[in-house]
Amino acid sequence: MRLILTIVLSFALIVPMIGPAAAKPPLREVSEIDDSLMMIAIADEIRKKCDGISARMIRALSKANGLKSRARALGYSDKEIKDYTGQDSEKARMRAKAEAYLKNQGVEAGNKAQLCAFGKEQIRQKSEIGALLR
C-alpha cells in the first residue's frame, strides 16, 4: 500500500511539470511542415508568374493535405492549423521566408525572368518545387 501511495504521489507531482515541457511549438517552428509549405508557396508563385509553367494541382493539393494530416498527427488542432495558414502575419512571414530562400538560390523574387528560369530548373531537377510544376 505504501509503495502504491508513493507511486501515485510521485506521478501527481511529476505530471504538472511535464505539461509545459511537452507543449507543442508553434507550427511555424516545425520545419518539416513550414519548409514544405514554403516549397508549395514558391511553386504557386512560379505557376502564377511564368507562362509555359503550370501547376500539378492534384499533386500540390495532395501535398498540402499531407502536411495538414502530419500536423494533426503531431497533435495540432484544426484551429491551430487554420491560424497558421490563414493569418495575415503568417502569410507575410512565409512570403519573407520564401523570398530569402529564393535570394539564397540567386533569384530575386520580383525578377520574373529569374523566377521562371529557376522554376524550369526545378522541374528539370525534379526537386520538391519542381515536382509541383510542369
Q: Where are the domains of the chain?
A: 25-132
pLDDT for 71 beyond 60: yes
Q: Are 41 and 93 in contact (CB under 8 A)?
A: no
The predicted pLDDT at position 62 comes to 94
Q: Are 102 and 115 in contact (CB under 8 A)?
A: yes
Q: How much is the pTM? A: 0.79
Distance CA 40, CA 46 (A): 10
pLDDT for 10 beyond 80: no
Only one residue has cell 510544376, namely 133
Query: Mean pLDDT in the chain?
Result: 87
Distance CA 12, CA 16 (A): 7
Q: What would the mean pLDDT of 17-41 be, rounded to a whole number?
A: 83
